[in-house]
Each structure stands twice: as C-alpha cells, then as structure tokens.
Amino acid sequence: MSWILTVFVIIPVLMLGGLWVAKNDNQVRGVMVAGSTALLIGAIWLTIYFVQQRSAGNTDAMLLANSVMWFKPMHIAFSVGVDGISVVMILLSAIIVFTGTFASWQLEPMKKEYFLWFVLLASGVFGFFISTDMFTMFMFYEVALIPMYLLIGVWGTGPKEYSAMKLTLMLMGGSALLILGILGIYYFSGATTMDVIELARMHAMSKTAQNIFFPFVFIGFGVLGALFPFHTWSPDGHASAPTAVSMLHAGVLMKLGGYGCLRIAMFLMPDALTMWAPVFLVLTTISVVYGALSACVQTDLKYINAYSSVSHCGMVLFALVMTTQTAITGAILQMLSHGLMTALFFACIGMIYHRAGTRDVRYLGGLMKVVPFLAVSYVVAGLANLGLPGFSGFVAEMTIFVGSFENAGMFHRVATIIACTSIVVTAVYILRVVGKILFQTIPNKKFYELHDATWDERFSIGALIFCVAGLGLCPLFFENMIIDAVHPIFNHIMDYVPTLGNL
Amino acid sequence: MIPVEYFFILSGLLFFIGVFGFVTRRNLVAMLISVELVLNSVDINFAAFNRLLFPGGYEGMFFTLFSIGVSAAESAVALAIIINVYRHFHSDQVNSIENMKL
Amino acid sequence: MFDYAFLILLLPFLSAIVLGLFGMKMPRKVAGLIGTCMLGTLFVLSLYTAYHYFFYTGEYSAMGQTFRVVDGRLSSGVYPTVTVFNLTWLKFTELLTFNIGLRLSPISVMMLIVITTVSFMVHIYSFGYMAERDENYKFEEYEHGFQRFYAYLSLFTMSMLGLVVATNVFQMYLFWELVGVCSYLLIGFYYPKHTAVHASKKAFIVTRFADLFFLIGILFFSFYVGTFNYDLNVNPGLSDKLASIAANPEIAWAIPTALFLMFIGGAGKSAMFPLHIWLPDAMEGPTPVSALIHAATMVVAGVFQVASLFPIYIKFGAIEQLHWIAYIAAFTAFYAAAVACAQRDIKRGLAFSTISQIAYMLVALGVCYAINDEEGGLGYMASMFHLFTHAMFKALLFLCSGAIIVIIGSNFKEYMGGLHKYMPITNACFLIGCIAISGVWPFAGFFSKDEIVSACFQFSPMLGWFMTLVSGMTAFYMFRLYYVIFWGNSYYEQDPENRRRPQEVPFVMWGPLVFLAIISIFAGWIPFGHFVSATGQSAEIHLQHFHFSSVAWFSLLAAAIGISLATWMYMPKHNPVPDMLAKKMPVLHKAALNRFYIDDVWQFFTHKVVFRCFSMPIAWFDRRVIDGTFNFLAWGTQEAGESIRPWQSGDVRQYAVWFITGTVALTLVLLCLI
C-alpha cells in the first residue's frame, strides 16, 4: 500500500510518454482526459481512504508514508506521506488539472507540446504535495516552475517574453533563497535526514540559526505565495499566460508557497516566529489590502484577477503568521477555496477573451445578452470571490478572521481589522467589472456574433462551480480533515513559542 | 660560422611578423600563413638552441621535424575548413562567420 | 411539533435552485407558478407555525427540550424559544462553532408571517407587473427573465427567513450577506439599464461597507463572550458570561462596542443616515421587489437585529449605545421626511418615507432603558408592532405605485394626476395606505406609531415632540404624493388624443392590493402586545381599549394638520402655493430635491478620495516603484553582462592580442621579480 502515493507522480510520467507517442489532436486529448481522470479518481480515493483511516483511529502524522534513499551522503530520500493538508491540496490539484484539460481543449497551435509541459508542471505539483523530504520537495518545486517559462513564453499573449522571463527570474530568485534555507536547516540541525517530520521531532536548530534561516525559507516560498513586495510577477505572468496555465498557476502553484511556508518555515523553525512573525504580518497585511486596492483601477480583466489573487494569497500568509489554530485552518481553507475560485475566474476570463478578442474592461459590455452562460459563470465567480455565503470564499475568510481575532495582541487586532476591510474593496472591484462588462449595453457590433460556451468549456466551468459551491455549502468535511492536520503542527509550534497565540 | 644570434634575430623577427599578421589580417588564408610563420620561427629556435646548448643531442632537431609535420597536417585541416567556410559564406574574411554569436 | 419547520428554509432553497438552474428551459409561466406555489405553501406553513406557536396547549419537545405550554406560554408566562434544529456548519474551535439552525421566538415567528405574507402577495402581483403589454394594456407575454426573477425572489425569501430564524449572530450575518446579494441581483434586474446597474452596485457596496462593521462586531463579541449565540433564554451560560464581562472594568467596553459595531451593520441595511444613500437608488429595481425587499423585509433587518440583541443591550451596560441609536434614528426620520416632501419620483418619495418609518422603529428601540414595559421597555413592543404594520401598508403603497407605473409608464409625478377616475381600486388602496401611514384612527399605523411616540415621551419629552412633528410631516408628504398622483391636473386629459387613457390594472394585481389594504385597516386591532413584548409577558396596548392619552390626541392633531395642509396645497387643480414656496426658498427646495447633497458627498468620497488617493497611487506605486525596482535589478544584471561581453567577442585575433600582451606583461613581471 505504501507505494500508492507514488502513483500521483507515475501517472503524469505515463501521460508524458503517452503524449510523446500521440499522433494527432484526438489522441493527445484522449491521453489527457484519461490521465487527468485517473488523477482525479486517485485523489478522490485518497480523500476517502484518508477519512476512513482517521475515523478508524489511525493517528500517524503521515499516512501511507514510505521512504527510499536517494543520495546517501546528503541523506536525501524520496520520502512520501500525506496528512489532511496534503490530501486536500492533492484533491485541489487533481480538480484543476482535470478542468484545465477541458479549458484548453481547443488550444492552438502545438497542442501536443503544450500538454507535455502542462503535464510536467502537474507532475511537479503532485510530487511536491506528496513529498515529506525537504530536498525532494524542492526538486519537485523546481520541476513545477520551469515549464511555466515555456508555457507563457510560447503560448502566452501580450508581452509574453517579458512576463515569462520576469516570472521565472523572480521565482528562481525565490528558490535560490529557498535552497539556502533548506541547507541551513539541514546543517544547523546536524541531522542525518532531510525528512520534515523527523527534523521537527529533533528540533535541533539553535535559536540564532532559526532566526537567520527563517526569512530565507519564508520569503523563498513567499515569492510564490505573492508576498508583498515580491508579488509583481503575478500580474504580468497571469495576464500573459494561456487560460489553463493561469488556472493551474494561480489555482495550485501559488498554493505551494503557503504550503511550504507552513510545512517547512513555521514547522521547522517555530522559535523564529517570535522575531519574524510581526515583520511578515505587516507585509502580508499590506499584501491583502494593497492587492485589493490595486485591483480597483486595473483595466485588464486578468490583471484585476491577478491582483485579487495577490490579495487572497496574501490572506493565506496573513493567516499563517497569525499563528492560531483557527487561523491556520482558515489559511488552508483559503488555499483550497482560492484555488478553485481563481481557476474558475481565469477560465471565464480566458473564454471571454477567446471570443471577444479583448480583455480590456473599457471595450467590453453587455455580454450577459450574448454569452449568458459565460456571463453567469463570471458573476458566480465574482460573487464567490467577494465572499458570498454558500460559496467557498465565505467559509475560508470567516475562518481566517475569527482565527486571527483570537490573537488578542493590539497589533494583531489592528492588522485583522485592516485585513477585514479588503472584503469591501473586493466587492468594489468585482462589481465594477461585472457591471461594466456583463451588464449595460453592448458597445461593439461585433459582439452580437459571439457564441456561447461549447460543451468542453461548460463542463470545465460547471465542474469548478460545483466544487466551489460544494465547499461553500458543506465545509465541515474538509475542515475536519484540515484541522486534523493543523492540530499537530500548531501544537508543535506552541510547544516552543507558547505565548505567540496571544501576545 | 654564422653567429648564433643571427638565428635568434631571424626567428624573433619571423615570430613577430607572424603575430602581427595574425592580429591584423582578416583574410583567413593570410592568418593561416601568419600562424605558419610563427611555427617556423619556433622551428628555427629549436634547431638553433639545440645546436648551441646540446651540440651532441638530436632532440631539438626531432622536435623541429615533428613540428613541421604537425604544421603540415594543421595547414591541410585549416585549408579544408577555410575552403568549406568560403563555400558556405562566399567569403574568406574572418568577420563573416560571426553569426553564431548573439 | 415543529419538526416540519426545516421546510421553511428548504422549500425556497429548492425552488431557487430549480428555477435558477432549469428555469430558462421552462416556459415562463410554469417557472412563475412553481415559485408562487412554493411560496403559497410557505405562507400556509408560517401561519400554521405561528398558530401553533402562539396558541398551542399541551406538551412538545424540540432538540431534546420539552416545553409544557398553555396557550403557547410556559408556566412563567412567556413564550418559549424553540430551537428546532441547530447543525454545526463550521467548527472554529471545539467551543466556538458556527451553527445553522432554526429558532422560533415571538419576533421571529412574527417576521415569518410578515415575510411570507408580503412575499406571497408580491409573487402573485408580479404575474401582472412583470409582463409586456400592448397599447391597450392587453397582456402579451411575460417579461424576458421572468424565470430569473422568480428564482431571485425564492432565493431572497429563503435568505430572509434564514436571517430571522437565526440561532446565532453569525448565521444572521451569513443570511444578511445573502439578502444583500439578492437585493443586488434584483435591483440590477434590468441590467441593460445603466442606472439600474449603477444603483445595484451602490446598494451592495454601501451595505457591504456597513457589514464590515457588523463582522468586526461579531469578532469582538465572539472573542470576549466565546460564542455566537445571543439568545439569553436558550443559552443558560450566556447570561453569566456576559455579566462577568460587564462586571470586569478592563473588558466591560467590549460588549457595548461589539453591539454598536453590529448596529452599524444594521444601520447600513436599514438605511440610517448617512448610510441611507443606497435605498432611494435601489428603486431602479422592479416595483414588486421594492415592495418586498426595500420596504417590508430586508430593510428592517437592522431593526430586527437590534431587537434580537435588545436584552443584551439593556442588561449588560449598553443602554447608552441604545440611546445613540435613538438619536441617529431620530435625525434620520426627520431628514428623510424632509427630503420626501420634495421628490418628483413617486418611488423615491416612498423610499424616503420608508427610511423615515424604519427610523421610527429604531427610535422606539433606542429610547428603551429597561426591559419592563412600564419602566421604559415599551419601545420594544412598539417597534415590533410598527415593523409589522409598516410592512403591510408600505408594501401596499409600493404595489399601488407599481400599478400606477405599469399604467403610466413612468415614475414621475408630472405624468400622473387625476387618476382617481381611471383607477378606482388602486386609488382606494393607496388612500388606505396613506391614511394608515399617517396614523389616523382606526387604521394600523395609528396604534403602532402612537406606541412609539408614547415611548419617546417616556424617555424624553423633547424627543416625543420631535417625533410628533415628524409624524405630522409624514402625513403631509404622503398626502402630497396621493394628491399629485390621483388628483390635481391630469396628464392624460391635457391631450387625450395622443396620450394613452389610463385604466384599472388586472385582478392579478389589484387582488394583492386589496388583501394588503384589508390588513392595513385592521392590523392595528391585533393585540400585539399580547404576543410580543420585551419581557415576553403579555402586555396591553391601551389605545386598543379607547384609552386615548394626550399623546394620542397630539399625534392625531399633527396628522390632521399635515393632511389638511397637503389637501389645501395639492388637491385643487391649480394651486400656486407649492410652486411659490419652491420659488421663495429656492435653495432649500433644491437642496431637498437633491437630497441635501449627501449622495454627492459620498460620490466625492468614493471616487475622489478612495480611488484617487488610494487605488491610483497604489497601482502607480506597484507599476513604477516595485516593478521598477525589479526591472532595475534585471536591467542592472543585463548591463553588467553587456559591459563585460566585449571581452568574449569570439574574435580570435583579439584573443591573440590579449594573450600576447598578457604573456609579455607576465614575463616582464617575472623578470622584475627575479
């Protein structure tokens, strides 16, 4: 049984092989559908299996754990294992890959090559979430980053070379910090393993070493999680990327940041939180409000959503550094929720762009009349984004706010209230766009000839809306899984910095 | 008996003429000739020093012969390349084959 | 006994889902009928629930609790608070959970009746209103988006019901947001219209802004109290916890602060000054929606919220905050009444009237300083009573104005006048509504409003007189509206050749009008104090037994003056007085017409201040400074590369020069060293 997690890497590799030999578009699509369905089924099975195991009383920190030594001198092992957080992230990734496949159904040109890179990216993401070895995580992280360059640079729109270069360079800069941090943890723990759980159990780093290496890891992952001021790759990158890549990138790849910050930075170096949490709290609070306010005056739909992502992903990191159990749970929920919502959003934007030929809000209008399905989906995505109850955003944001407020420090409280204001600003920019592009009159005669979503697009969007609403209506199922995983991590942090929760 | 300094002066002159030619000429064949001049100056040096320092030895002479052989092979290869370059670029100028550079 | 009550939330939810997903595939009429039938069922269900709740004798249990009641009352003489179900929806910590449940208390049962009655009437009425008609008002086809309209209405009804049966504040907040979105969707129902889109956006953002405070209030409350529950009757530990907080001087500020922050949220929904600006614009929505959402139900959510938290306000040191509410509300009542006197658009006139009347309810709550009726708790009952009666007659007035708009095709008073001949039923119903809202005996408004004014007098005579004055103004502006619509110069008669002849609306529209008119006439005689009062004990409304106090006489007098003034000024075909007044006081008139420029102030604030001073600079900062920094780094790297690039030219001859120069230099150095 313990090899089963490796399936999440093997399937993408098999898909790569399948794509390699595929001869025409339909074969490419066949391979993609088969593979992504297999991944989705695997993820659902994993979720069910996980819940069953937990309710059967299996209290291991990591389920389905397995480890194969890779590189003895550095004690690098291919260690896999999942807890509640990884399971929901794997599920999220599988959903996004599945829907992303349908969202790029009609992509031209070079469909085969496109999907090759797409699948490579996916394999990196899955590998990252199943790994428990720091170095393996880092390796998969890099595997996930590199394809972005080609996907944006080749299949993108607008100033794609610039964006691709900017994104890659900034993320690579982040990973340079990251590897330093990882090596720092390894050497200063004096450990004979790179396994995260083992390292946490040892907790052998000195306080000074923690203080030095915490920012490396946190910023390293934070760049990917759109931490202010390292977020500027996000608007350009997302704006230039093709639809499914935006979906996968904003939906899953940005979650690697938050996940890493929690799993490596905070879990392994809790003592450093005393010193660094306030600093990052300020930065993340700025992220939250700043992203939202910037989104208000953008004119490109993708820019608006990219800034909105900055705000929402900022919320993830914000909740993490609040360091209360509820807030961390909320952060994970927000990752899940934002992943689904933003994928939905990018899917809608991509489809509108594909038809109307522009993403500029000034030139769009009255789309509700001509493409009702897309327009309604856009409204749903918008409402989910601004935290309408019944959709996932509300659940995540409320958990974060309640959790953050548990941290009774004056400083934290002010930060929470400032972060709360973002929900109003979110409403402003979402409604501004919805009002401008979907409602009112049609400004351009050309738009009368637009056709509504095709079946593959409907399927992709429908599946995402179903997930967003599902999480929004019955959040308790996922919340239990997440709390189950957050609880030991939080307790571990509290063992070393017991005063952090209520400064 | 010719004083040995004359050989050194000759070889020094040949060497610098060769270097000068190599640096200043753009024609590939001319550059090759310059390289040959440099090699020849070295050959003369080998022979002269051998005679001056180890009158009974032959290693210097051997080296000279060896060097002449290598330079002949080298010229053959270089000329072959130059002819190919000329066929490809329709030019024997060294600047013309820069399109591998960014 | 109330096991079926989950249907109250489930039915409208299902209907919203069905209509929302499959409505467009159905014939329009079928979709409308599904919605209406569902609401009919819900209406019956609510009446049944109310009947059982208030009159049942015997024993029943809910959630493991057993209630032994006689005529609905427990042995202590109060109605029980019945929690029908309470599911954990989200678990923040082991103790702090977000529950969704259904709770029946006197005011929530009262709200159930209000919501389902008005909603049912609106559902029926919309069959007539949301239709396209030909020249002779002949029905042609239901409007485009008819199915969507009913889906929204169902969703709204579900959310509003969820709000009033909330077992905790967070559930209230959840449904609060949902009603906000329904309101947004319905105001923007005619989405190709620029003004509608703008109004819907404004409504949502303004209320959302207020909701932010609600949320922060909830956060404070939950942090200090450790729960989201607010009902002191069903949560035994809550009173002790609150008392211990109120007794602790270090954190005693927390409860009043939390409550007042929550009230700001309520003020947004209930359109209190200066957050009222969205409500008049919200009249861009279809008129039945205005009647349901923006007159009878959603806008009183704020009042309902304060009333729900009322025992906490009173008992745990937030009485002062309650009085602040009263002052804010009293000012709003006056302001809105003043603005209502100068509106040209009849729906906007009614909207300001709504603001003013809701303010009445909040004043009534705010002037309370004790739980007991005799000692200053009268306002609670008065407020709820007024909520009930106002919902009925204001819905009536809005539906009447909708009938007029269908016939006239415009909202502006210039196109009306003299309609009493052509629309007799609407005329009668509108008149009944006007009399009721003006507070004339024996109509509904008289009783509820008089209780409010009495409560004000109990608190402070100044406020009492002030509210009497405002009720006089109410009578004036309502009758002004009535006369300019139904009397005065007829627009049609000025040019009968070219203009459409007005006529009465069809039965499907006047039926609901008559139904609501009947309620508006008789609702005052309901022994309301018997069902709802601050203590929960049965209370008498003295006026219903012909015990007229001086307060009642004074407000009757004020109403009479207002009505006669309006009659004198607006009833005759030609009366120069209004125009003359407008000319005499151009500044005041213009200011009132422009709603005292509050909208402009807001506009200035949002566009100029927020957009210009925050968003634009931040966007600029992002592009220039932050991006600039990274671009600069990239540029720096590139430049550095460029500057050393000539060293690697690939030019063999250049390398040779370097090589030789280097060799020579190195030789010289070595020689020197030797």
Same domain, C578 and C602: no
Query: pLDDT digits over C482-521, tens only?
Result: 888 888 777 777 777 777 778 878 888 888 888 888 888 8
Token pair recorded at residue A129: 């979430």
Compute the 3-state secondary structure of chain B and give helix, strand, coil in percent, each to the nearest 5.
Answer: 80, 0, 20
The pLDDT value recorded for residue A1 is 61
User: DSSP of A166-215, one letter per residue?
Assistant: HHHHHHHHHHHHHHHHHHHHHHHHT-S--BHHHHHHH----HHHHHHHHH
The pTM for the full model equals 0.87
* Average pLDDT in chain C: 84
pLDDT at A501 over 60: no
Say if A298 is an interface residue toward chain C (CB within 8 Å). Answer: yes
Which C positions 160-219 lie with beta carbon below 8 A of chain A? 170, 174-175, 177-178, 181, 184, 188, 191-194, 197-198, 200-201, 204-205, 208-209, 212, 215-216, 219
Chain B residue whose CA is closest to C656:
B23
Highest mean pLDDT among A325-334, C134-143, C278-287 belongs to A325-334
The pLDDT value recorded for residue C316 is 83
The residue with greater pLDDT, C165 or C541, is C165
Residues of B whose CB is below 8 A from C642: none
Same domain, C382 and C425: yes
Please answer whether residues A353 and A301 qualify as being in contact, where contact means their C-beta atoms are separated by less than 8 angstroms: yes
The pLDDT value recorded for residue A107 is 75
The pLDDT value recorded for residue B100 is 61
CB–CB contacts below 8 A, A to C: 124
Round to whole Å and give the CA distance between C419 and C406.
13
pLDDT at C576 over 80: no
Nearest by CB: B22 against C649, C650, C656: C656
- The SS3 of residue C70 is strand
User: DSSP of C582-610, one letter per residue?
Assistant: HHHSHHHHHHHHTGGGHHHHHHIIIIIII
Same domain, C430 and C525: yes
Task: Decide if C301 is inside a domain.
Answer: no
Token pair recorded at residue A342: 């933003």
Nearest by CB: A388 against C88, C177, C209: C177
Round to whole Å and give the CA distance between C44 and C40.
6
Q: Tell me how long chain C is.
A: 674
Average pLDDT of the residues in A32-47 = 90
Task: Decide if B88 is inside a domain.
Answer: yes
With pLDDT > 90 as the criterion, what percentage of chain C qualifies?
Answer: 9
Task: Decide if C49 is inside a domain.
Answer: no
Domain that residue B67 falls in:
4-97
The pLDDT value recorded for residue A60 is 78
Same domain, C444 and C549: yes
Round to whole Å and give the CA distance between A473 and C89.
9
State which of C565, C593, C621 marks the end of a domain.
Answer: C593
Burial degree of C437 (CB within 10 A; 0-12, 13-18, 19+): buried
* pLDDT band of C373, cuts 50, 70, 90: low
Compute the 3-state secondary structure of chain C and give helix, strand, coil in percent, each to the nearest 5.
Answer: 75, 5, 20
The pLDDT value recorded for residue C546 is 66
The pLDDT value recorded for residue A7 is 86
Query: pLDDT digits over C222-280, tens only?
Result: 888 888 888 887 877 888 888 888 888 888 888 888 899 999 999 988 888 888 888 88
Asked whether at least 3 C-beta pairs link C and A within 8 Å, the reply is yes
Same domain, C373 and C485: yes
Say if A35 is an interface residue toward chain C (CB within 8 Å). Answer: no
With pLDDT > 70 as the criterion, what percentage of chain B qualifies?
Answer: 95
Same domain, C531 and C563: yes
Residue with tokens 């700043």: A290
Task: Decide if C184 is inside a domain.
Answer: no
How many domains in chain C? 2
Instruction: Tell me which residues of chain B have a C-beta less than 8 Å from any C-beta of chain C.
Output: 19, 22-24, 31, 94, 98, 100-101
Which A positions 362-401 lie with beta carbon below 8 A of chain C? 366, 368-369, 372, 383, 386-390, 394-395, 398-399, 401
Decide if A431 and C91 are in contact by the 8 Å CB cutoff. Answer: no
Residues of C whose CB is below 8 A from A420: 212, 215-216, 219
State which of C593, C609, C628 marks the end of a domain.
Answer: C593
Average pLDDT of the residues in A104-115 = 80
Q: Which of A407-411, C112-116, C351-355 has the lowest mean pLDDT?
A: A407-411
How many domains in chain B? 1
List all chains that touch chain B, counting a touch as 3 or more CB pairs closer than 8 Å. Answer: C
Same domain, C395 and C461: yes
Task: Decide if C161 is inside a domain.
Answer: no
List all chains that touch chain A, counting a touch as 3 or more CB pairs closer than 8 Å. Answer: C
Nearest by CB: A431 against C194, C204, C615: C204
Query: pLDDT digits over C29-82, tens only?
Result: 888 888 899 999 999 999 999 888 888 888 888 877 888 888 878 888 888 888
Same domain, C395 and C504: yes
Please answer whether residues C136 and C414 qualify as being in contact, where contact means their C-beta atoms are separated by less than 8 angstroms: no
Domain that residue C504 falls in:
318-593
pLDDT at C581 over 80: no
Q: Which among A226, A246, A256 has a CA at the least distance from the CA of A126?
A: A256
Task: Decide if B102 is inside a domain.
Answer: no
Same domain, C517 and C637: no
Please state, as a whole number, how many other Cβ atoms lie within 10 Å of the Cβ of residue A121: 26
Asked whether at least 3 C-beta pairs link B and A within 8 Å, the reply is no
Please answer whether residues A211 and A275 qualify as being in contact, where contact means their C-beta atoms are separated by less than 8 angstroms: yes
Instruction: Say what angle helices A410-433 and C194-225 make with each other, to 10 degrees.
Output: 160
Prediction ipTM score: 0.91
With pLDDT > 70 as the criterion, what percentage of chain A qualifies?
Answer: 99
Query: pLDDT digits over C185-212, tens only?
Result: 888 888 888 888 888 888 888 888 899 9
User: DSSP of C259-279, one letter per residue?
Assistant: HHHHHHHHHHHTT-TTGGGHH
Round to whole Å and give the CA distance between A69 and B91.
58
Round to whole Å and give the CA distance between A229 and A396.
24
With pLDDT > 90 as the criterion, what percentage of chain A qualifies?
Answer: 13
The pLDDT value recorded for residue B69 is 93
Q: Which of A357-361, A400-404, A443-447, B69-73 has the lowest mean pLDDT?
A: A443-447
* CATH code for the domain in which residue B50 is found: 1.10.287.3510
Give the DSSP H/E element, type plus range, for residue C438.
helix C424-438
Q: What are phi and psi of C78, to 5 degrees?
A: -110, 160
Query: pLDDT digits over B38-80, tens only?
Result: 999 999 999 888 888 888 888 888 999 999 999 999 999 999 9
Task: Decide if C650 is inside a domain.
Answer: yes
The pLDDT value recorded for residue A503 is 43
Q: What is the largest CA-CA distance in chain C?
A: 130
Task: Decide if C229 is inside a domain.
Answer: no
Round to whole Å and give the CA distance between C174 and C169.
9
Q: Tell me how long chain A is.
A: 503
State which of C562, C593, C624 marks the end of a domain.
Answer: C593
DSSP-assigned letter for residue C168:
B
pLDDT at C669 over 90: yes
The pLDDT value recorded for residue C595 is 66
* pLDDT band of A166, cuts 50, 70, 90: confident
Please answer whether residues C97 and C88 qualify as being in contact, where contact means their C-beta atoms are separated by less than 8 angstroms: yes
Residues of B whose CB is below 8 A from C649: 101
Task: Decide if B33 is inside a domain.
Answer: yes
Same domain, C662 and C551: no
pLDDT at A123 over 70: yes
Round to whole Å and give the CA distance between A39 and A26.
20
Same domain, C575 and C604: no
Round to whole Å and give the CA distance between C20 and C24.
8
Same domain, C508 and C602: no
Chain C residue whose CA is closest to B21:
C653
Round to whole Å and give the CA distance between C403 and A342.
44
Amino acid at A357: G
